Amino acid sequence: MRARRTVALALTGLLAAATLAACSSGDGNTTNSGSNSAATVLNVGMPNGPQTENHNPFLGSSSGASLGYRWMIFEPLVMINGIKPTEAGKPWLATEWKWADNFTKLSLTIRDGVKFSDGKPMTAEDVAYSFQLRKDNEGLNQDAIPYGTIAASGNKVDLTFTRSQFVNQNKILTVFVVPKHQWSTLKDPSQDTLKSPIGTGPYTVKSFTPQTTTLVVRDAYWQDLPKVKELRYTSYNDNNAQTTALANGASEWSFVFVPNVKAVYQDKDPEHHKLWFPANLGIHGLWINTTRKPFDNPALRRAMDKVINRDDIFMQGEAGYFYPKVESVTGIPTPAGESFIAPDFKDKKHSVDVDAAKKELTDAGFKLEGDVLKDPTGKPVTITLTDPAGWSDYITDLEIIKDNLSTIGIKATVDKANQDAWFKAFDEGNFDAGMHWTNGGATPYDIYQNIMDGKILKPVGKGGVSGNYGRFNSPEATKALDEYANATDDATRTAALNTLQKIMVEQMPVVPTSASNVGGLYSTKNWEGWPDEQNQYAPAQPTQQNALQIVLNLKPAGAQ
């Protein structure tokens, strides 16, 4: 989803220090004291502030998405490895799937013997209903999948689509299933907070507080029950609070930026404190609101790109390990995306060039008067750069960008936003610029689609977006995305992708700075079986759908 920083962060306010002091110390992680105790509880943490109870799995702003526990309750049809998206998926609620007619038809065979947590059987009708919900509710169809017919018969579900779904195969196969008998009673599925979620997953909600959500394992499940009997998801104030919890063992698994990770985390327990940050084909960068003047002018955006120092962002903002710098002017991460880069841009890399940036501006009618840049109307150019206060890496990135922009006379202000306010501002297009991530996928298509697709373009003020936060309006880009998605041969697909790269370089709707990852920090003190470089069965990030695979794979440390 977001996957992306794919932290689908439900971004709520700040957690008081007094509340933090009451966080779990981890003492409840064993069934009994003494050397023979076995772990039963896994403590998961995220740095997202206090949560509002919302278990709706569709909503990226929900507590279930913010902390990642929605994937322990709701399961996909197929489990796709987020770091190996071109590999065949693992059968999950569907045992077989077949595409036909250039990916416009899909036939699914639904697993028998699966029951929801309320004891009722999951059927093909539930699966068909889960697709129908997305078709009938625009707010739930976040990937804008063009559903056609949806039909269930026996243990089969057959779907058609109005155009090829080559690029959306994984998104469709990883659709999670909800029970028709519950969701058909909801007044508005796109808004309901779903206080009592019913799913096929191995866990149910035991308790909720703004600080901690606790899940407990079910009595029965269609697979072997997990060894983790209880999951405690704690939402810490910010990156620093989360890091402290990881270092002292109160938190055992998280996705968080740690500026000096070796000293403050790994060295606290070298034997057990691990991290693994596998890359995916997604990026982070400065998203610019292209509806706001003068930033609707591509020359200004190109000039901004030319003065941003990616080396400083990587070494200072990302601590030299977290998000690698993006070097290609196309925004495509290398080496992962090297083979996709168009011949015209093969050897062209980002570099700081203030003189070239000034020429871009002068040629476009801007004037640099002293240390003040004025737009063609004579108005000084100012910009507010915004991200949540607790996201220390992004805030450092913005401070670097602020200084970089001053070299061409742009006065920038860094707004350390309330998380709720920031999420809403990006969702509705009420911002100047800020660091954000893109989707990741098997090809760069997902990056460009997330940035430029006119099909997910919404007017300023309307939320529920799944990308194109900068409201970039380019019919040419939308056409090229369509051509790529619907191509029946590689040559057509390559030509379309080359066009998208040209648009990215020339219009710079997002200034790419860093490659994405789907990593995590975890402790092997109480639990073993985590993914790592030698066993890449899933991404290590607890808010990814694959987190369920990880939990199912964990065993108490030292268990035979």
Q: What are phi and psi of 187, to 5 degrees?
A: -70, -45
Q: What is the pLDDT of residue 87?
A: 82
Q: What is the pLDDT of residue 239?
A: 87
Residue 10 has pLDDT above 60, yes or no: no
Q: For residue 139, what pLDDT band results from cuts at 50, 70 and 90? A: confident
State pLDDT tens for residues 356-378: 999 999 999 999 999 999 999 99
Q: Give the integer Cα–Cα distance in Å for 389 and 211.
A: 18
pTM for this predicted structure: 0.76
Residue 342 has pLDDT above 90, yes or no: yes
Question: Count of CB atoms within 10 A of residue 492's CB?
Answer: 13
Q: For residue 398, what pLDDT band results from cuts at 50, 70 and 90? A: very high
Six token digits for residue 193: 């907070």
Q: What is the pLDDT of residue 460?
A: 95
CA triplet 71, 77, 82: central angle to 5 degrees? 60
In the chain, % of residues over pLDDT 90:
80
Give the 3-state secondary structure of residue 511.
strand
Residue 14 has pLDDT above 60, yes or no: no
Cβ atoms of 397 and 313 within 8 Å: the answer is: yes
Q: For residue 242, what pLDDT band results from cuts at 50, 70 and 90? A: very high
Structural domains present in the chain: 76-181 (3.90.76.10), 203-278+519-556 (3.40.190.10), 279-517 (3.10.105.10)
Quick one: average pLDDT of 469-489? 95
Quick one: average pLDDT of 137-155? 93
**Cβ within 8 Å of residue 298, ≥6 positions away:** 506, 507, 508
Quick one: average pLDDT of 211-228? 98
Residue 283 has pLDDT above 80, yes or no: yes
Q: Give the integer Cα–Cα distance in Å for 142 and 190.
A: 11
Quick one: average pLDDT of 135-151? 92
In the chain, % of residues over pLDDT 70:
93
Q: Give the integer Cα–Cα distance in Å for 395 and 386.
A: 8
Q: What is the pLDDT of residue 84?
A: 80
Helix, strand, coil percentages in the chain from 3-state DSSP, rounded to 5: 30, 20, 50
State pLDDT tens for residues 449-468: 999 999 999 999 998 888 99
**Cβ within 8 Å of residue 554, ≥6 positions away:** 42, 226, 227, 228, 527, 528, 529, 530
Quick one: average pLDDT of 321-326? 88
Q: What is the pLDDT of residue 277?
A: 87
- Which one-letter amino acid corresponds to residue 490? D
Residue 4 has pLDDT above 70, yes or no: no
Mean pLDDT of the chain: 91
Quick one: average pLDDT of 133-162? 95
